[in-house]
Amino acid sequence: MPDRPLRIVHVVGARPNFIKMAPLLAACRAAPAIEPLLVHTGQHYDEAMSGAFFRDLGMPPPDVDLGVGPGSHARQTAGIMTAFEEALDGLRRRPDAVLVVGDVNSTVACGLVAAKAGIPLVHVEAGLRSRDRSMPEEINRIATDAIGDLLFCTERAAVDNLLREGADPDRVFLVGNLLVDALLRYRPRWAESRTLETRGLAARRYAVLTLHRPANVDDPDMLAGLLDAVERVSRELTVVLPAHPRLREALARSGTDERVAAMPGVRLAPPLGYFDFVKLLAEARVCLTDSGGIQEEATVLGVPCLTLRDNTERPVTVESGVNAIVGRDPDRIVEAYREAASRPAPRPCSPPLWDGHAAERIVSILETRLAGASAGAPEREVACLAS
Ligand code: UD1
Ligand code: UDP
């Protein structure tokens, strides 16, 4: 154990970050050798996109709230960098590491600041690659991994991507998936959600849809085509659509909000709290999504997932047989929906180490690998799980 606890700054900014960070923070708080500090960049700020998750997941309020908010990529990333640098400078004790998760603008912004300040950078969910550089997330992933000191991966393909790109194998660890930690940890809470009853839905008699990728919602023609597909599916099965703010804005901008509101088979809803959303997903007949995390949750829950994209950075979800990459062509989406709805539900699949213990593995590696930094002693060796 080091002379003093390792001070690790944990960064969150957007909805999926809060969910992944909750089990990790709990594990850090239980580890005497770690003193976690929580920084919220303010990238997501609505009650339904941020505050509700802190409350439901029992997360402590952030120690520092940068309050940056929305903006173009450059403006938002730069705003977070400036505010985070000031926040780090304002700390009385220099942190032993900065830990970022996922692929959002907050991830790369804070990663860059940490790396340039010479503070060890830990990236959780490293190595995922869609190989589609038109996705802002792909740029964020590549950049963060390139400057990360410890790279924690959710699946084997991510490890392979990093090694192929020249990452030092001694810094790459296959640890499992924090989103799955959350799914299992909070199962008793989401299992008791009454959201189906409240919405008058019966298990397996509806589909869940989420859409928020810029390539899908910001282009009015693409959005119109996807809505055609949704309308056709909704004539056969009720579609519940908890709308991300980006989708809401895109519907309003393109004047299609009234069209969606008028679709009798579509239930438009605000973004849902985590417990209600997972319950809704777990009981769905099928899920249509362009989310990253929902592909993983559907895999573990065994809910047929149709990914409305041309690629995925999470290939293990496809190898599991639960997730299919169906693209954005309306005919293809309707056909894929009919195929999925006509088959028995796939078996839930837990890829290697998606067992609810990723947070503990991360904490144990942090304790060992950062101990030298805190005590001024050389780093001790641990077995690299990637090898
Ligand atoms: C961001 C991430 C994306 C992630 C998603 C999770 C980047 C580049 N993108 O996308 O990878 O999948 O979060 O949900 O980091 N808005 C609100 N209220 C909020 C938050 C956002 O109204 O609480 C609106 C704002 O007008 C904003 C727009 O949504 O301009 C988009 O928000 P932003 O954080 O820039 O990107 P997301 O689409 O949410
Ligand atoms: N989620 C939620 N409420 C919703 C939609 C999604 O709690 O209305 C959760 C979902 O269970 C998953 C995470 O948000 O854990 C996925 O976030 P999102 O799709 O916004 O981002 P991505 O994973 O694509 O980066």
Q: How many DSSP H helices and E strands does the chain contain?
A: 18, 13
Residue 275 C-alpha to ligand 2 middle, in angstroms?
Answer: 11
Instruction: Determine contact, residues 181/21, Cβ cutoff 8 Å.
Output: no
CA-to-CA distance for 232 and 331, rounded, in angstroms? 9
Query: With contact defined as beta carbons under 8 Å apart, do 323 and 312 qualify?
Result: yes
Residue 49 C-alpha to ligand 1 middle, in angstroms? 9
> 348 has which bridge partners?
none
Beta carbon of 309 within 6 Å of any ligand 1 atom: no
Distance 43 CA to ligand 1 centre (A): 7
- Determine how many CB atoms are found less than 10 A away from the CB of residue 149: 18
Q: Which ligand is nearest to the CA of 135?
A: 1
DSSP state of 61: P
Q: What is the pLDDT of residue 3?
A: 73
DSSP secondary structure letters along 135-165: SHHHHHHHHHHHH-SEEEESSHHHHHHHHHT
Our answer on whether the CB atom of 232 is closer than 6 Å to any ligand 1 atom is: no
Distance CA 303, CA 378 (A): 47
pLDDT at 42: 98
End-to-end C-alpha distance for the chain, whole angstroms: 26
Q: How many A from CA of 77 to the centre of ligand 1?
A: 12
* pLDDT for res 11: 99
Query: Tell me, what's the pLDDT at 373?
Result: 63
Q: Which of 44, 123, 212, 244 is catalytic?
A: 212
DSSP state for residue 344 in the 8-state scheme? P
Active site residue 244: no
Q: Is 288 helix (H, G, I), strand (E, B) or coil?
A: strand
Query: Residue 93 carries which DSSP code?
Result: S
Q: With 0-12 CB in 10 A as exposed, 13-18 as middle and 19+ as buried, what is 158?
A: buried
> Which residue, by CA, sits nearest to atom 12 of ligand 1?
291
Q: Tell me the C-alpha distance between 254 and 219, whole Å.
A: 9
Q: Measure CA 144 to chain center.
A: 15
Judge contact between 193 and 279, C-beta under 8 A: yes
Alpha helices in 72-209 (DSSP H): 73-90, 105-116, 136-147, 156-164, 178-185, 187-191, 195-199
**Whether the CB of 136 sits within 6 Å of ligand 1:** yes
> Rounded to whole angstroms, how far apart are CA atoms 46 and 180?
24
Confirm if 234 and 263 have CB atoms less than 8 A apart: yes
Length of the chain counted residue by residue = 387
Distance 51 CA to ligand 1 centre (A): 15
Q: What is the pLDDT of residue 22?
A: 98
Does 86 sit in the ligand 1 pocket, CB within 6 Å? no
Best of 124, 277, 303 to mutate for ligand 2, by most ligand atoms within 8 A of CB?
277
Distance CA 240, CA 265 (A): 8
- How many angstroms separate the alpha carbon of residue 180 from the centre of ligand 1? 22
Give the model's pLDDT for residue 378.
Answer: 36
Distances (CA, A) of 104 to 43, 143, 285, 348: 9, 11, 30, 28
- Note the pTM of the prediction, 2 decimals: 0.96
User: Residues with Cβ within 6 A of ligand 2?
Assistant: 15-16, 19, 179, 210, 242, 271-272, 274, 277-278, 291-294, 297
Ligand 1 proximity of 43 Cβ (cutoff 6 Å): yes
Residue numbers of the chain with a pLDDT score lower than 50: 376-387
- State which ligand 1 atom lies nearest to the alpha carbon of 137: 11
